[in-house]
Amino acid sequence: HMYFFLKNLSFIDLCYISTVVPKSIINSLSSDSSISFLGCASQLFLVVLFAASEICVLTAMSYDRYAAICSPLRYVLIMNKTACMHMAAASWLSGGLLGVLFSASTFSLTFCGSNAVQQFFCDVPPLLKISCSEVHIVIDVSVAAALVLDAVCFTYVTLSYVLIFSAVLRMPSSEGRTKAFSTCLPHLTVIIIFLFTGAFAYLKPPSDSPSALDPLVSVFYTVMPPTMNPLIYSL
């Protein structure tokens, strides 16, 4: 059943990186670095959709690993086809709802003056910088919903890995322990970087002056996970 989640993760990663990178490359190679209003709204929606879906799928994968390592005899019963389908559907539904919430709340704001987005893709923090709206209640609600999802996923992943590592440390075979750690630690590392850099970008107070840190941080939650996941799971 791990391959079922890997297929979902691979598809999400392909869509996720295709939403951001191709347009950024085209802009850097041409003199025209513009994006239409509809294109910007679509990009924001898709980025949030795929990011949130990926977090949920990674959480489901951590539960799958917990079931495989801590309850191997009941694994087939716990991770049956119906359970896997429900987890995947819940992941995509959560991502879709957050995508609609963020894109609708962001573009309900008033924009005036500069229309230059200080980022290599349309994201909520740089769009807030060029908004004239003083009150961002709808954005705050969206960010709160995303933080709740992040907190739930992080708690679930942490609990799963605590149980996994405690089971691994009880293994009599050092080879078995090494194999389990080598497959679990990279997965856990990507999740932590993904969640914390995303939370940092969205919680950092917006400033008027552009910062070189902003694009760097955004790379860690947009480009790095789709790039690292194929390496981690192929090795």
Count the domains in the chain. 1
Separation of alpha carbons 99 and 102, rounded Å: 5
Q: Give 5-38 pLDDT, tens digit per residue.
A: 888 888 998 898 888 888 887 877 777 777 888 8
pLDDT of residue 85: 93
Confidence (pTM)? 0.86
> How much is the mean pLDDT over the chain?
82
- What residues make up the domain containing 129? 2-234
The CATH code of the domain that includes 57 is 1.20.1070.10
Q: What DSSP string runs through 17-76?
A: HHHHHHHHHHHHHSS-----HHHHHHHHHHHHHHHHHHHHHHHHHHHHHHHHHH-GGGHH
